[in-house]
Amino acid sequence: MSNVIPESIAEQIIAEKIKEWNDNRKHVKQSQTEAHHFVAITRDFGCHEEEIIPRLEGALGWRVYGKDLLNHLAEREELSRNFLETLDEKKQTQVDDWVNYLIHSGAVLQKDYVLRITRLMEAIVRNENAILLGRGANFILKERKEGLRIKLTAPFDDRVKNIMEVRDLSLKEAEQLVRKNDKEREEFISAYFNADSPTFSEFDLAFNTSVINTDLICETIKFVLQKKGFTTGGGSY
């Protein structure tokens, strides 16, 4: 089962978002500020994300920005620029100031891809409530108080078992795939953020998906967001 978003659908999602944000900006007074919130999720491969993420999206009523969509944006300079242009001049300056701070603090490396992905995430969280999956969101947004940084994890054997079932693979194939994805994730963090894999202390919440079921995970995340005064929509779990 592939989670890759077809390019035509990605382009449609992006066009709709840019139009929505530009329309919203026209109706918001210059002096009016609206707080937007985020959930940044880091997950080990095979942690039932194919079940948890759609349920969380429905529970919160927030848009999910996953690896494929973020990559699609970051790899196309014109689309990245269009996203940033949905912000007024003051907010664009704030984004650039934040990016420069992250570079100078050593949180991100000065590489084209990571700079674009950082600006994109900043544009997203300044425009709407959002769920951000991977791509270093926990590093990029680590000092922001408007959201939650969440880790989904599970023992290796449990993740392998889940991948065998979800992707109809043999034990050997699933083990190879889980190891490959774990290695790629570590290499991504090292290459773009000059860091090791984050420890649990760097997250606001962490869930062992082998022990805690999807309903309870979504319920807990929504409860904590509401206790922090963040606006959530959506429906039941």
Q: Of 74-88, 94-108, 163-177, 198-212, where does the model show the most confidence?
A: 163-177
Name the superfamily (CATH) of residues 7-26+34-225. Answer: P-loop containing nucleotide triphosphate hydrolases (3.40.50.300)
Of residues 96 and 157, more confidence is placed in 157
* Mean pLDDT in residue range 90-109: 63
Compute φ and ψ for 39, nearest 5 degrees: -125, 120
pLDDT higher than threshold 60 for residue 79: no
pLDDT higher than threshold 60 for residue 137: yes
Q: Is 81 exposed, middle or buried (0-12, 13-18, 19+ CB in 10 A)?
A: exposed
pLDDT higher than threshold 90 for residue 218: yes
pTM recorded for the entire structure = 0.73
pLDDT digit string, tens, across residues 33-72: 456 889 999 999 999 988 999 999 999 989 888 777 676 6
pLDDT higher than threshold 60 for residue 75: yes
